[in-house]
Amino acid sequence: MVSFSRNSRSIIANWWWTVDKTLLTLLTLLLAIGIFLNFSASPSVANRIGVGSFHFIKRQLFFVPIAYGIMLFLSMQSLKTIRRTAIVGYALTLMLMAVTLFWGEETKGASRWITLFGFSLQPSEFVKPTFAVVAAWLFDGQKKYRDFPGNLLSMSLYFLTAVLLLLQPDLGMTIVVTAIWCFQFFLAGLSLWLVGILGALGLVGAVAAYFIFPHVHVRVDQFLASESNLGYQIKKSLEAFQSGGFFGRGPGEGVVKMNIPDAHTDFIFAVAAEEYGMFLCLVIVGIYAAIVVRAMIVSAKDNNLFIILSASALAASFGLQGIINMASSLHMMPTKGMTLPFISYGGSSLLATALGVGMLLAITRKNVHAEDKDETD
């Protein structure tokens, strides 16, 4: 077993004694479950499209060590480094999102992917964690310096981000970014009348999206339709939950998964339900809930607004994406095409999630940010 002296001044030893081990353990466990479920969900999809049975598994296993390394590396950084990483990452993400509009690969009516070095990359995945930290820094600056227009800058960047997302179009990501930004704004001291205005605008935007975007119209209609008119994947997903019962059919014994086109991505939660039952599903839900609650509790103990806003936003973003994916699989809301963080197949999603939770682990480290708290301005 690895052990470090509390008196050691090495970077690794300092990190070991200050990182939140509960969060680190839960995140590692979630990533392990993701690998495990990909072995169950991916082969049937790979066989259906005519590639090798382990095509997706091999690609996922290539990205997992990279993602875990990114998470650990970022978790060792100072607040100043995290802030700078987020700013640079956010700027690059905006540029890549703009490029995607003109030279992106169109899939299912949306231009969200570009090819870099032989890999398909979805830049919008990286906007969630980077914008959350940038917005936290701007809100914090507004509170610290009377003449600093942090709120105005944050609103401007939010609208720029939302426009780029809607042009792709990616309504699901827009909803997540909007919800997290409003949550941060509320924590930063947004007045109640502005909360009401933003809520009203959100409702207007949701109604407008129904009439503007054909795919949103179709998904909402399918959600509201009778059981006989449900979308194909939703039908199969619900069948998987019914087939699995509480303890599941057993590893590799799933049958319904063979007929779910996105079993390894958007509907991997249904695969977990069929083969391992509601028991594993409840475990997964519990892990997500524990990560969010733990991060919120740790950040709430700090009196630094930047730490509170950034950690809360990163944790809420992580949890909200998980809720959207799981609720869609259970037909509790219209499908959004969002992955289950750290579990679904996908290099972009995996790396973006690692970026977010890596920054979360760094921000929630204890007793190490006293010297650079003032550097977050």
Question: Which tens digit of pLDDT belongs to each residue from 124-159?
Answer: 899 999 999 999 999 999 988 888 999 999 999 999
184-220 per-residue burial string, b: 16 or more CB within 10 A, e: under 16: bbebbebeeeeeeebeeeeeebeeebeeebeebeebb
pLDDT score of 194? 77
What's the domain range around 334? 20-367
pLDDT, residue 373, reads 53
Give the range among 39-53, 187-201, 340-354 with minimum mean pLDDT: 187-201
pLDDT band at 108 (very low <50, low <70, confident <90, very high): low
Confidence of residue 94 (pLDDT cuts 50, 70, 90): very high
- Among 84-88, 178-182, 196-200, 269-273, the range scoring the smallest mean pLDDT is 196-200
pLDDT at 8: 64
Task: Look at residue 41 and tell me whether its pLDDT is greater than 60.
Answer: yes
Residue 300 scores a pLDDT above 80: yes
* pLDDT: which is higher, 176 or 366: 176
Helix ranges restricted to H, 1-149: 11-18, 21-49, 55-75, 79-103, 127-144
In the chain, the number of structural domains is: 1
Q: What is the mean pLDDT of residues 62-76?
A: 95
Residue 1 located in a structural domain: no
Identify whether 361 is part of a domain: yes
User: Mean per-residue pLDDT for 346-370?
Assistant: 88
Place of tokens 């939302």: 162
What confidence score (pLDDT) does residue 240 get? 92
Question: Tokens 């970022």 map to which residue?
Answer: 74
> Would you state the torsion angle of the CA atoms of residues 305, 311, 314, 320, taken in this order, to the nearest 10 degrees?
-100
Nearest partner of 170 among 84, 100, 87, judged by Cα: 100
Residue 157 lies in a domain: yes
Q: Is residue 159 part of a domain?
A: yes
Mean pLDDT of 269-296: 95
209/60: higher pLDDT: 60
pLDDT band for position 171 (cuts 50, 70, 90):
confident
What local confidence, expressed as pLDDT, does residue 377 receive?
Answer: 45
Q: Please give the share of the chain, as a percent, with pLDDT higher than 90.
A: 51
Share of the chain above pLDDT 70, in %: 91
Q: Give the confidence band of 368 by pLDDT, cuts at 50, 70, 90.
A: low
The model's confidence at residue 193, banded by pLDDT at 50, 70 and 90, is: confident
Is pLDDT of 188 > 70? yes
Higher pLDDT, 369 or 193: 193
pLDDT of 19 > 80? The answer is yes
Banded model confidence at residue 195, pLDDT cuts 50, 70, 90: confident
By CB atoms closer than 10 A (0-12, 13-18, 19+), residue 223 is: middle
SS3 assignment, position 75: helix
In a domain, 8, yes or no: no
pLDDT of residue 372: 58
9 occurs within a structural domain: no
